[in-house]
Chains A and B, each alone.
Chain A
Amino acid sequence: MSGTKQRGGISLVFQLLLCCIFVFCLLSVLLTGTEVYKSVSSLSQDGYDGRTCLAYIEAKLRSADGAGSLRVGDFDGHSAVFITEVYDDTEYTTTIYYYEDQVYELFTLSDVELGPEAGEPIIEAESLSFSHENGVITVTCGDKNIFYSPRSREVSE
């Protein structure tokens, strides 16, 4: 009788132990899943942050690359690139700059002077700066940068 009781007790402990192992494994798999999801999501966010802003600016520069149409300079204390285009004999300037943690774009008549707050926010970014050296425009967004060599070979400062 005592042996049967003991066996019953051991069986119960064994079942409880199995249950605990089951719950532990379940939690481990769940935790691993969340960790992997976090890492994949962070990688994807990094890619988005780094690439989107640079790709947008590069596409803008490429589409407007003509003789003297690109200029790297300062816009009200902010590093900026100026893209000049002519539509119906009227000259317009697109200014891309960094203002209040965002990349801004301002499209105006070339002879109209507006402040940085007048632009349209495009995308959030850590930082954005432009420089022009040895015929190459360097666009730095956060810790990533791209070089752009204007096909027109003419960039004013």
Chain B
Amino acid sequence: MKENRQSGSLMLIELLLAIMFFAVCAAICLQIFVTARNAGERSSQLNNAVIQAQNAAECWKASGGSMTETAALLDAELTDSVLSLGFDEGWQPAETQSATFRLTMTPAAIGEADISVASAHGEIFSITAAAPYEEVTQ
């Protein structure tokens, strides 16, 4: 009888140890899963942000450095020489106020503009675009 009880307690201790070991492993695994998911999302956001910033830079070049023409080409809002363009979660154009991602373009040196794409968590990508020198209109 005593042996029976002893083997039962041993099994219980073994089981508890296994669960503890599993819990530690599971915690590490979950952390890795979350990191992988975040890295995937960041990569996707960066990918899309680069495309949008590049598009804005191309329009800036095509317009010869004119913020008004760039805004017209991108179908963006222009307030006090600052161009803003909003995107929803799927990176489709959206209202700037309710947008998940936001592209802003501010004039820098003559013929140059700073383009920045940001989410609520901060800046994702930024670039400085320069219009061809001979075509600068501002």
Contacts and interface: CB of A to CB of B under 8 A. Distances in A.
| Pairing of A with B | yes
Interface of A: 4, 8, 11-12, 14-15, 18-19, 21-22, 25-26, 29, 32-33, 36-37, 39-40, 43-44, 46-47, 50-51, 54, 134-136, 143-149, 151
* Chain B at the A interface: SS class: helix
Interface residues of B, number: 39
Contacts of A149: 58-59, 61-62
Q: Is the interface of A mostly helix, strand, loop or mixed?
A: helix
Contact of A43 (B5, B43, B61, B69): B43
A113 B62 CA distance: 33
A29 B30 contact: yes
A147 B73 contact: yes
A65 B48 CA distance: 25
B5 to A, nearest CB: 7
Nearest to B69: A134
Contact of B55 (A4, A19, A21, A146): A146
A146 B37 contact: no
Contacts of A36: 33-34, 36-37
A14 B90 CA distance: 49
B12 A151 contact: no
B54 interface: yes
Contacts of A4: 1, 5
Interface string B50-73: 010011001101100000010001
A19 B40 CA distance: 35
B62 A46 contact: no
B1 to A, nearest CB: 7
Contacts of A148: 58
B18 interface: yes
